[in-house]
Amino acid sequence: MTLPADIDALVRLFVVANVVLLVVLVLIYIERKVLAHIQQRLGPMRTGFHGILQTPADAIKLLIKEDLTPQSADRWVFQLAPFLVFVPIFMMFVTIPFTGELVVRNLDLGIFYLVAFSSLHVVGLLMAGWGSDNKYALLGGVRAAAQLISFELPLAFAILGVVVWSGSLNLKEIVELQTGIPFLLLQPLGVLIFLVASLAELSRTPFDIPTAESEVIGGPLVEYSGMRWSIFMLAEYASLFATAAIAAAIYLGGWEWPFAPRAGELDGWAARLAGVTWFVIKTLGLIILVFWLRGTLPRLRIDQLMGFAWKMLIPFSFINLIITAAAVVYGGVILLAGWLATGGFAYAVYIRSRR
């Protein structure tokens, strides 16, 4: 059965929208449980088996809360902000591949499109901060803008390393190039930069400076309540899911690595199931790593954060790109030599800073 392309895309988008909502509910539950167990608590236990119905209950509670708009707020900006935060993040799912065929549309510009849309929600956060007419919200908004644009650069440069090596922007092609060796091993520096920068892009601890409770009491979200507030939360977890899925695709070999069923070995549905299983394992593993970091690391100060972005991550992401490009043009040996030299250099800097 084949549908017209646009109807097919619409059906797929609708399914993806529901999957994203469901995944967000599950992720919030997992985060609370992981954090609780790191802190030797039990977490939610009362609603359903081991508190499994806690997030749906919270969602219903948020739905029937009064939705307030401050009197002095810039009404249009205030009310438009949730849309501008959520929609760009939702649009990333247009080309995020769950497996080779479980994707809304495998765009040729794939990864470039994702880089573009992953940074667009900064406009929404800035609008939320400005529109709230609140000191804390405004400070949080400009902090969010400064942080997100600063970490956007190393993120894009880390991804450029992958693009140079694979010579393609298409996510499906990038994954298929990794059937032998995942880019995790070819781009060790790139993976580190990507992980740190995307943590900051997601404003997760230790980079949750825009919404730091003890400094700006929730930042741009101070004045939001009820459903409007929960749309920001929805967007945050959806972008966490999206980023983990991208990392799984471009560094961990997506749905194929470590082994994919060869043609004829499994019939259609079993092969699909195998792909989805790999995807879920990798994505969930990365997401739990993010939760683990939140449970472990304290928040950075904003000067440490900006200094780290511009003085460490950006120069190192340049080095990453130069080494990869040189290896593509002049032969793969440069890659190995380059990573060894970079590792040695970083170690020397570390030793010097310890004195």
Closest by CA position to 51, among listed 70, 75, 34, 76: 34
Instruction: Please report whether residue 9 would count as binding other proteins according to CB under 8 A.
Output: yes
Instruction: Please report whether residue 153 would count as binding other proteins according to CB under 8 A.
Output: yes
Binding mask 254-293 for other proteins (x = CB under 8 A): ----------------------------------------
Of 200-208, 228-236, 248-256, 342-350, the segment contacting other proteins by CB under 8 A is 228-236
| Contact with other proteins (CB under 8 A) among 78, 90, 98, 194 | 90
Tell me the site size for other proteins, rule CB under 8 A.
Answer: 80
| Contact with other proteins (CB under 8 A) among 138, 246, 247, 250 | 138
The conformation of residue 299, written as its DSSP 8-state character, comes to: P
Could you tell me the maximum CA-CA distance found in the chain, to the nearest angstrom? 68
Q: Which residue type is seen at 25?
A: L
34 versus 334: smaller Cβ distance to other proteins: 334
Q: At its nearest, how many Å lie between other proteins and the CB of residue 230? A: 8
Provide φ and ψ at 105, rounded to 5°: -155, 125
Q: Which residue in the block uniquely carries the two structure tokens 């700006």?
A: 216
Using CA atoms, how far residue 313 sits from 92, 95, 122, 151, 217, in Å, is 24, 27, 20, 8, 28
Q: Which residue type is seen at 179?
A: T
The conformation of residue 180, written as its DSSP 8-state character, comes to: S
The conformation of residue 310, written as its DSSP 8-state character, comes to: I
Instruction: Please report whether residue 6 would count as binding other proteins according to CB under 8 A.
Output: yes
128 versus 286: smaller Cβ distance to other proteins: 128
Instruction: Please report whether residue 104 would count as binding other proteins according to CB under 8 A.
Output: yes
Of 32-40, 110-118, 194-202, 278-286, the segment contacting other proteins by CB under 8 A is 110-118
Region 31-50 residues binding other proteins, contact defined as CB under 8 A: none
- How far apart (Å, rounded) are the C-alpha atoms in residues 233 and 211? 12
Q: How many CB atoms lie within 10 A of CB 154?
A: 28
| Contact with other proteins (CB under 8 A) among 53, 123, 227, 233 | 227
Of 191-199, 255-263, 276-284, 316-324, the segment contacting other proteins by CB under 8 A is 316-324
Q: At its nearest, how many Å lie between other proteins and the CB of residue 188? A: 19
84 versus 252: smaller Cβ distance to other proteins: 84
| Contact with other proteins (CB under 8 A) among 71, 267, 350, 351 | 71
Instruction: Please report whether residue 346 would count as binding other proteins according to CB under 8 A.
Output: no
What value, to the nearest 5°, has the Cα angle with vertex 272 and ends 271 and 274?
65
**Please, where are the H alpha helices in the chain?**
5-38, 54-63, 75-92, 110-118, 121-131, 135-166, 171-176, 183-186, 188-201, 213-216, 226-250, 268-296, 302-307, 314-330, 333-354
Instruction: Please report whether residue 65 would count as binding other proteins according to CB under 8 A.
Output: yes
| Contact with other proteins (CB under 8 A) among 55, 99, 150, 320 | 150
What value, to the nearest 5°, has the Cα angle with vertex 96 and ends 110 and 186?
70
- How far apart (Å, rounded) are the C-alpha atoms in residues 124 and 224? 13
